[in-house]
Structure 1
Amino acid sequence: MNLQIVMLLGQDGVTNGAIYALLALSILLVFTVTRILLIPQGEFVSFAALTMAAMQSGTPVRMGWLLVALALAAVALDLYDAARGKGRWRPRGAALAMLAYAAAVTALTGLVPLDKAGVAVQALLTVALVVPLGPLLYRVFYQPIAAAHSLVLLIVSIAVHVVLVGAGLLMFGPEGARTEPFSEEGLSIGMVTLNSQTLWVVAVSLLLIVLLYAFFERTLYGKALRAAAVNRLGAELVGISPEIAGKASFGLAALIGGLSGILIAPITTIYFDSGFIISLKGFVGAIIGGMASYPVAALGALFIGQAESFSTFWASSYKEVIVFTLILPVLLWRSLSHKGAEDEE
């Protein structure tokens, strides 16, 4: 192994680590606000990548129909809650607005020739399709059981992941796909040339990491979202809606996942079930961060990216084993360093 190979592997590690860092932050974001371990986070990534690939290839974009189905389910739940609570069958305006939005975006994808629209328009429309998926998933599957035990929420997350994987197979088929790169230019640094997509991934990742950290640590709204996770009843008493907090956190997670899918689609072939293994590596980064610290989670994800890259060179057949084995010493160290937990009241 010479210096040039080290630089190339390091470049791949930084690219992968940046994506894992984004997913680690989104998993950490949802967990700190809602106590939900968002296992379907990877589906936001794969759905965004495959949706944009479908636009570029000129094939039908079926993502909108999933939004319509979830929006109809949200309206039905609102009708049921209204009838049970007040005896009046009337859904909330937000649910009807989301249904109208889903129908409009679905119609737009069917009427506009998206294969000729350009990468920027395709990326924006992909984000417009993926982001509402987060709040709708929370409303339909998680909001009715928001106060349940964490184990129940975990089981529901696994079930939602399985359902979404099946929906992905139905919408996109078993074939993988790639998208066109954003630009062809690169940046030469010594013996290594950084391709443009790597620069896009690193730049967008750094921007989102900084914005998320500033939002949750420096703004009132970010602290309000964190307060909703610590004490739901206390948050409600001071005017913080846990329902809005949950939808907002899922929406941010869907935005991060959608952007991640758009960024990595030109780099690697994405399949309908590729999101799980990608988000699982982001989860390992979040575990290294203790499911509490955004900067440490981002650094842990970058470390996972480097470990995966160099493992591919030395032992490609065992790279997944090596990456996921790294979580064991972290868990052992945290277990030994933990002073003990108080009994829950």
Structure 2
Amino acid sequence: MDLSIIAILAQDGLTNGAVYVLVALALVLVFAVTRIIFLPQGEFVAFGALTLVAFQNGVLPGTAWLLAVLALLTTALDVRAALLAGRRRVLTRMVLVKLVLPLAVVALAWWAAPRQLPVFLQVVLSLAIVAPLGPMIYRLAYQRLANAKVLILLIVSVGVHFMMVGLGLVFFGPEGSRVTPYVDASLSLGELQFSGQSLMVIAVSLLLILALAFFFSRTFYGKALIATAMNRSGARLMGISTTMAGKLSLFMASFIGALSGILIVPSTAIYYDSGFLIGLKGFVGAILGGLISYPLAALGAVMVGLLESFSSFWASEYKEVIVFTAIIPILLWRSMTTSHGGGDE
């Protein structure tokens, strides 16, 4: 193995690792705030990618209809809850935000689908369709179980995962899809050559990580999420809505997942069930941080990307086995170095 091969493998590893970092950070965020091990995170990756593919093919994506149905269901539940609580004043604003706005996005998608808009607008529209699915799924599947044990929330996540995989098959079919690269340029450093697509993926991932750091350190809602993650009861006593925190964390997770799928779909074919493996690899990285530490989760995700890349060179048939086997020593190490208290802790 010479330097050029090492550079190529490292480039692929860092590119994939950048995506796994985003998935791992989303998993840590959701677990820290809600105690949900969010297995469907990978499905948002596939939904984001395949929604963009549908727009590029001039077809209205099935996720637009899913957005409309979930908007109707969640609005009906919230309106009923508001009427029972006597909060009639918020009904108009609630209907506008929770129903009219998503339906407007669906109408815009229906209008834009056959018109072959510029790629940037297709990306924005894909994010506008997929990102709101996160808080809607939280409202339907998790909100009433917010105080349940972690195991129960995990079982619900398994059910949501299978539901989304099935819907993905219905919406997009079994064939894999990809789009043309967003960037055709390349960067040469001596004998080493880096593709513009890989550099763009890494750059966008770094920008998103910096944006998340700014959000958590400088904004009210970011600090509210941190407070909820540290102490749910204390945050509630200070007037922070844990329901709002849960919806916001899943909105951010679905946005991150959809953006991750959009970033990688030019370089690899995405199938309706591709998100499962991507989510698992992000989960391996998140486990390194104990589903708590963002820096360790990011480091673990980069290591997963590099391990996958070099494994594909040495033993391509076993690269998935090697990556997922790496979680065993991590779990053993964490088991030996973590004090074991109550089961739900």
**TM-score computed with the length of structure 2 as normaliser:** 0.94
Q: What's 1:167 paired with? A: 167
Q: What's 2:320 paired with? A: 320
Q: How much does 1:87 deviate? A: 10
CA–CA separation in structure 2 for the residues paired with 1:87 and 1:225: 25
Structure 1: which amino acid aligns with 2:312? T
Which secondary structure state, in structure 1, belongs to the residue aligned with residue 194 of structure 2? strand
1:139 equivalent to 2:136? Answer no
Q: What's 1:274 paired with? A: 274
Structure 1: which amino acid aligns with 2:52? M
CA–CA separation in structure 2 for the residues paired with 1:106 and 1:220: 30
Q: What's 1:233 paired with? A: 233
Distance 1:181 1:94, change over 3 A: farther
Q: What's 2:154 paired with? A: 154
Q: What's 2:300 paired with? A: 300
Is the 8 Å Cα contact of residues 48 and 130 (structure 2) preserved in structure 1?
yes
1:1-345 equivalences under 5 Å are 1-82=1-82, 84-86=84-86, 93-114=93-114, 116-217=116-217, 219-341=219-341
**Tell me, which stretches of 5 or more residues in structure 1 are unaligned?**
none
Q: How much does 1:334 deviate? A: 1.3
Q: How much does 1:217 deviate? A: 4.6
Q: How much does 1:194 deviate? A: 1.1
Is the 8 Å Cα contact of residues 149 and 344 (structure 2) preserved in structure 1?
no
Q: Deviations over 1:226-266 (max 9, x none)?
A: 22234333212211011111111111111111110110010
Distance 1:176 1:92, change over 3 A: farther
Q: RMSD over aligned Cα, in angstroms?
A: 2.1
Overall identity of the aligned pairs, in %: 53
Q: How much does 1:214 deviate? A: 3.8
CA–CA separation in structure 2 for the residues paired with 1:174 and 1:180: 20
Structure 2: which amino acid aligns with 1:110? W
Which secondary structure state, in structure 1, belongs to the residue aligned with residue 155 of structure 2? helix
CA–CA separation in structure 1 for the residues paired with 2:337 and 2:233: 31
CA–CA separation in structure 2 for the residues paired with 1:113 and 1:67: 16
Q: How much does 1:171 deviate? A: 0.9
Q: How much does 1:268 deviate? A: 0.2
Is the 8 Å Cα contact of residues 71 and 99 (structure 1) preserved in structure 2?
yes
| 116-125 or 103-112, larger mean C-alpha shift | 103-112
**Tell me, which stretches of 5 or more residues in structure 2 are unaligned?**
none
CA–CA separation in structure 2 for the residues paired with 1:167 and 1:274: 13
Is the 8 Å Cα contact of residues 78 and 92 (structure 1) preserved in structure 2?
no
**TM-score computed with the length of structure 1 as normaliser:** 0.94
Which secondary structure state, in structure 2, belongs to the residue aligned with residue 112 of structure 1? helix
Q: How much does 1:287 deviate? A: 0.3
Q: Deviations over 1:131-172 (max 9, x none)?
A: 111111111111111111111111111101111111111111
CA–CA separation in structure 2 for the residues paired with 1:39 and 1:344: 18
CA–CA separation in structure 2 for the residues paired with 1:95 and 1:192: 55
